[in-house]
A and B are shown apart, each in its own frame.
Chain A
Amino acid sequence: MTDILLLEGIDEPGLATIEGYERRGGYQALRKALRMPQADLVDQLKVSGLRGRGGAGFSMGMKASFLPQGDMQKYVVVNADESEPGTFKDRELMQKNPHQLIEGIVIAAYAVGATKSFIYIRGEYEHQADVLDAAIAEAYARGYLGESVLGSGVTCELHLHRGAGAYICGEETGLLDSLEGKRGNPRLKPPFPANQGLFQGPTLINNVETLSTVPHIVTMGAEEYARIGVQNSSGTKLVSVSGNVRRPGNYEIELGMRSRDIIYGLAGGPPEGRDVKLWFPGGSSSPVLTKDDLDLSYDFDTLAKAGTMLGSGAIIVVDDSNSVVDVCHKLAKFYAHESCGKCTPCREGTSWTVKMVGRIKDGTATPMDLDIMASVQEHIIGNCLCVLGDAMAMPVASMIAKFRGEFEAQIEAARERREQAFLTGVGA
C-alpha cells in the first residue's frame, strides 16, 4: 500500500508556487469535485474513514454532515494554530505545499456549502503566513478562489488570519472567539460549531493536515483511500518525532505501523548508549507510554486501548538521562501559563500542580504531596469547559502512576538531606 501522499516530492523546487503545483497535476481534484453533487462529496469523505488530524480524531465526513442544509451563511475555518508541544507537521505542509491545502479548503467549502473560509494561523509562523498569503493571491488570480470558482458559479472566499501566540486558540471554540476579535476563551458546548460557530453561523473546522488530505481522497476515490491503514484508522499520517532522537523530523506513515519502527527505524532512536525512558505518542497532552509499549501499533484505536491517544501525531521521546520530575514540571508549567483562566478547575489545578511539582524538584515536598497531586488531576479531568485542563492532568497523572518510584525517591533523598543538615546543625 502507499504510504506517501502528503509529503510526496515536497522538497521539489517551486512547489509552493501555483505553476509548480499545477505541473504536478494540482487543482485537478477540485475540477473533479466540482462535477460531483455536494452530498456525494460528503459521502465520499465519510466512506474514506478520514479522521481529524488535529488531535480529537473525529470523522471528518461525519463532522461535515452535521452542518445544516440551507441558504444561511456557512463558514469553513482551518485550524493552523498548531501549538501542541511536539507538533510541527502543519508548518511543513503550509510552507512547502500551500496549494494542496487551498485546494482541500475549496473542495470542503463546496461540499458543505460555505462561501467564506478563514485560515487561522498561529502568529509565530510568520514565514508560513507569507507563503500562504502569496499562494492565496495566486489562487484568486487563477480563478480557484473568488466569486465563481473556475466558472462553476460556486463562491469561495478565503482569508488568512494571524493569531498572536496563545495555545488555547488551537481549541476550536477558543479559535472562533479569537477570530471574532475577542480574547481566545473557549465556549461552552453545545452548541457545537457545526450549528453555531463563527459569527453564529454553521462552521466546519478542520486541521491543516486533514484538509490537505482531501484532494488526495477525491483523486484516488474514497474506497481506495480507505484501504490504506488499518481498521478505523485509514490513510496516512504525518508524525512529528522530536526529543531525544537522532533524526527528528516529520515522517509520513501508513497508520498501523509499529511504534518501534517509527522511533528507531525512521527517527534513529535515542543517542548512543541511551534507552527510551518514556514517550508521548500524540503531543504533550497524551498520557505517557514507556519502553514496554514500543511494540504498539500506531493507530487511533490501539493507542486509545492503551490508555492514551494518537492526538496530533507528535511523538516526543525522552531518554533515560532525564528526570521524569523535570519533564513533569516543564509540562505543568506550560499548561499553567496557557490556561485561559475562564474555568476554575483548570486555572487553579494547573497552577497548584506546578507548585507541587516544584516542591518535589527543590526538595520541600512530603510523600503526601504525591497523593494530593494525583487527586488534583482527578478533579480536573472532565470538569472543564475545554480539554486544556485534561491535557495537563492526563499526562501528569500517567507520569505519577508509571514513575511513582522516581517521584518518591526524589522526595526521600531531599528529606534525608534536610535531616542530615539539621543533625549537623544540632551537633555543632
Chain B
Amino acid sequence: MTIDPSRIARFEHGSRIPGWDDAVDLEKDPAGVPDPASTPVPEDLRAEIEAQMARYPDRRSAAIPALYAVQRRYGWCSPEGVEQAACVMRVTPGYLTAVATFYDMLETRPVGRHALYVCTNISCSLCGADELLAALREEVDGDPDFNLRGFECLGACDIAPMASVNGQYVGPIALDEVPELVAQIRAGEPPLPAKQLERRPSADPKAAVHGGGAA
C-alpha cells in the first residue's frame, strides 16, 4: 500500500514538535543505530563525546553533553550532527532527537549565532521585560545572526529586566541602552560591561560588614 503523505490531515494550528508538521515518508523504516562504516564523524567531535561518555556509569547520560558538542560545531542540532553523535554513542538518532526537542537550549532548527535570551518571567516582566524584548526585536530587526527569544526565568531576578547574551548575564537593561547593546554584540565586544552580573556585589549589607572568620 502506498501512502500519499500530503493527504494526511495535520492539526491546523500546527505542533510545537519540529518536523511534525512536515510531510514525512511513512514507508521508510525507522532509523537504527548508524553504521560507523558509513557515517563519517569528525575526529574531535568523536573524542569530545567519548570523553563525556566515560564520565558516567551509563553512556546515555552523555546525551545532553553530546548534543551541546554538536550544537557548538554546527550551530544547531542538525540531522547530520545528531546522526554522528548517535553513531558515537551507539543509540538511534531518534533517541537523541527526542532528547533535543525536550530542552529549550538545544536548537532543532537553524538559528543565529548570537544567543540573546530575554527573561520574561514574573519578576522581570514586573520591571519591564516585555518592553525590553519588544525594543530588542525592533533593534535586531530580523538580523539572521541573532537568536533572540523570550525565555523563562533565567534566575537573575535581582538584575531585572535582564538578558543572557551568549551565556553572559547582563542587567538591569534600560531601554535607551538597547542600541548600544545590540551594536556591541554585532561587533563582538563584551556586552554592557558595567552591568554584567559577574561584577555585581551581594545585596546583603551583612555580607560586606563581616569578613574573615570560620568558613
> Which A residues lie at the B interface, using CB under 8 A?
3-4, 7-12, 21, 24-29, 73, 82-88, 90-92, 95-96, 100, 103, 116, 122-127, 159, 161-167, 178-184, 199, 215-216, 219-220, 240, 242-244, 247-252, 266, 280, 284, 314, 316, 318-319, 322, 327, 330-331, 334, 337-338, 340
Contacts and interface: CB of A to CB of B under 8 A. Distances in A.
A181 B213 contact: no
Interface string B188-208: 000000000110011110111
A124 B215 contact: no
B73 to A, nearest CB: 16
Contacts of B123: 85-86, 242-243, 248, 316
Given A122-B155, A127-B169, A252 B61 contact: no
Contact of A86 (B59, B63, B122, B127): B122
Contact of B63 (A182, A249, A280, A322): A182
A163 B68 contact: no
Given A9-B213, A24-B213, A182-B99, A322 B55 contact: no
Given A24-B213, A91-B155, A242-B157, 5 more contacts: A9-B213, A122-B155, A181-B61, A199-B58, A216-B215
Interface in B46-95: 55-65, 67-68
Contacts of A73: 57
B39 interface: no
Nearest to B213: A8
Given A24-B215, A25-B215, A122-B155, A316 B122 contact: yes
A138 to B, nearest CB: 15
Contact of A163 (B59, B64, B160): B64
Interface stretch (B1-9, B28-36, B103-111, B176-184): B103-111
Contact of B202 (A29, A124, A167, A250): A250
A73 to B, nearest CB: 8
B151 to A, nearest CB: 8
B167 interface: yes
Interface of B: 55-65, 67-68, 98-99, 102-106, 117, 120-123, 125-127, 151-160, 164, 167-169, 197-198, 201-204, 206-208, 210-215
A244 B127 CA distance: 7
A73 B198 CA distance: 38
Ordered nearest first, which 4 A-B pairs have the shortest CB separation?
Answer: A249-B203, A242-B157, A165-B104, A164-B103
A319 to B, nearest CB: 8
A394 to B, nearest CB: 15
5 contacts: A91-B155, A167-B153, A182-B99, A244-B126, A318-B122
B122 A243 contact: yes
Contacts of B120: 330
A27 B55 CA distance: 25
Contacts of B153: 83-87, 167, 284, 334
Most chain-B Cβ atoms within 10 A of its Cβ — which of A122, A124, A330?
A: A124
A9 B64 contact: no
B164 A248 contact: no
B157 A248 contact: yes
